[in-house]
Amino acid sequence: MSEETTQEASPGRKVSISFERKRGLADFGNVTAWAHVEDYVPLDASESQVAETLNSLFNAAKAATFDQLGIEFVMDEHGVLREKHEPVANVSDAASAVGRQFPNTTNDGGLRVMNKADQQGDIPQPVIDFCAARGITAIWDNRKQGKSFSEAVGRGKVSLINGTSKGALIGLDGTFS
């Protein structure tokens, strides 16, 4: 009895790429899509052959993910897969685009409100003026807790109002305590 053995040629090194993309929804939720692709490269493949295979896999995973999320995409002249969108020409166009995306936002007078989800309506003009005069760019809206506002002070930073590591309380009339 003879035994015939066959040895299959090794397919090479297995390479794989995963790609994940989140897309924000109008109700502040999000959806995530994920793709994983793999292939083999010959054991004697050059660096450029491996790079070409990886690039191809990356584009395949990215395209599959964009398809899942309904994102339009294009391949640019360098072989890079990019999301297709209208370019924003200037700051006012960008602000307008954000306004269209989030139409129910409140007026914050250019201040960064650290707890946007708890913001209780527009920031009063005296508070905006008070902060602008002192170079304050970020505040906490504490009206939900029965207080007014407080200066947002970063870790290791000092308050621009009272020189402490805790931000001063800013009243609705633009005074501080």
Please list the pLDDT of the chain residue by residue as tens digits (177 residues).
Answer: 444 444 455 578 898 999 998 888 777 778 888 999 989 999 898 988 988 888 889 888 988 888 888 888 888 887 788 888 755 555 556 556 655 555 445 556 677 887 777 777 788 888 888 888 878 888 878 777 777 777 777 777 766 665 555 666 676 666 665
Say if CB 149 and CB 141 are below 8 A apart. Answer: yes
Q: Which residue has the tokens 């306004």?
A: 99
- State the Cα–Cα distance between residues 98 and 88, nearest whole angstrom: 11
Amino acid 9: pLDDT: 53
Amino acid 20: pLDDT: 92
> What predicted TM-score, i.e. pTM, was given to this entire model?
0.43
Residues in a beta bridge with 30: 24
Say if CB 17 and CB 58 are below 8 A apart. Answer: yes
Amino acid 174: pLDDT: 62
Amino acid 79: pLDDT: 79
Tokens read off for 126? 């005296």
Neighbours of 119 (CB within 10 A): 18
Amino acid 67: pLDDT: 87
Amino acid 134: pLDDT: 79
- Size of the chain in residues: 177
CA 102 from chain center: how many Å? Answer: 15
Amino acid 1: pLDDT: 43
The DSSP code for 176 is B
